[in-house]
Chain A
Amino acid sequence: MEQNLLDRMLDSYQQSGTPLTITLQNGTRIYGIIDRFDSYVIMMKNEKNDIVYRHAISFLAPTGERNRHKEPDTQAAAGHTDPRQRNDRPAPAPQRQERRRGQEQMKHKDNKSNGDVCINSSMKDGLLKWIEVQKASKI
């Protein structure tokens, strides 16, 4: 039977009982172990036994790996975190995601321009140094 990658990953996570962090499109994180899954939903094993629609998922990863890279999440115990309870990050609407994408592109542009500036200034410094060295050698 042909299985897609997500199904295979979910199957392996389910069988190994790996604690997972599922991040949804709105930034909400759901923690827990996969209880069961089918082609449309995933049933999580945590206090609330969430049913997660697969169309709403942005990405998922084992909980440990994420925490190794980022600061340990204090909301891990909360299971399902309500975006309204978190003042730091309001739930982005789809339009906001587009806007965010735009911002990211802007950031990339900024980075590029900064990089150009850096290269230019370092080149300038290098040239100046080289000129000074040449002058010194002539004298």
Chain B
Amino acid sequence: MKDYRSFLKEYDGPLIRIMEICGTHTASIAHCGIVSLISSRIQLISGPGCPVCVTVTEYIDRLITLSLTPDTVVVTFGDMIRVSGSRQSLQDVRSEGGQVRMVYSPLDMIGLALAEQGKTFVFAAIGFETTTAVYAALMDEIVHAGIANIRILTSLKTMPRVIEWVCSMQGGIDGFLAPGHVSVITGSDLFLPLSEKYHVPFAVAGFEGEQILIALYALVKMISHGDGKVMNLYPSAVTAGGNRTAQNRIDTYFEPCDAAWRGMGVIPDSGMVLRSEYLEYDAGSRDLFSDHSHHPECRCAGVITGALKPQDCPLFGTLCTPDKPQGACMVSTEGSCYSYFVNRRNA
């Protein structure tokens, strides 16, 4: 294993397709120039790991409506403001008087809400299991402090069902680079049932270039041996069982639900929503399923599931660029199309 770099560069065996399902991994792979360090017979596919990318248009439309409601302010992470709903984005509606504020952390919203108690603050709560833990911590704070003017509109997603969807739909992914921060919360055991059922290996990896290379080495080896197991290669942060406190906190406030994924349709049991006893803090998150891609040629669905590379989409680089994005894959800096475009990835 000492010379894992040479191994990866010189690999000459059967074509291997490895999917990463974490936006931060997509960004790191591009940032470090990983593709230039591995054989062209090892193909890296970006899966549905970018929470902004998989948000349906109806969710954005609801945020827009809320932002235009008197005495209501929508609070969000930065990337969300450029994603289009069925007609426009939060950025567009700002110039029409829509009240939208950007924060680094959902917890920052508490200060905003306390400072203006006559207004209702609604957080655009998107994310996977990692960020759901943060929302659970937020719920703890607002419930215990009795803050009455905060709501959340959720579009929370979970990993297992969508990975299963990819496995059952595609049949072309040989191994998975498992998300690092999700695994901190859920534990690496989350992927065991999937690896057993579909006989595919998972490698949980950190985000440094070296960590990603080591994980790719492990995956190629496991694939070559036909091993369908889970390896935790981020042991400094990830354990088999994960962060139990965070899991319990999530369970206190949220329950599983069916969720709609942009361009992919509804996947049963793939999302989370506030439990009914906390519905007073919900801004109407249930049943936001409608999804209207505003350009008929947009192929985000194919890109997100690894069926297509970004450059296979007819709009890529022409009608769809970071300056004028069509689908969410180009808007978010973690989106596959954005990453491929700004790094001019050809593989």
Question: A and B, one complex?
Answer: no
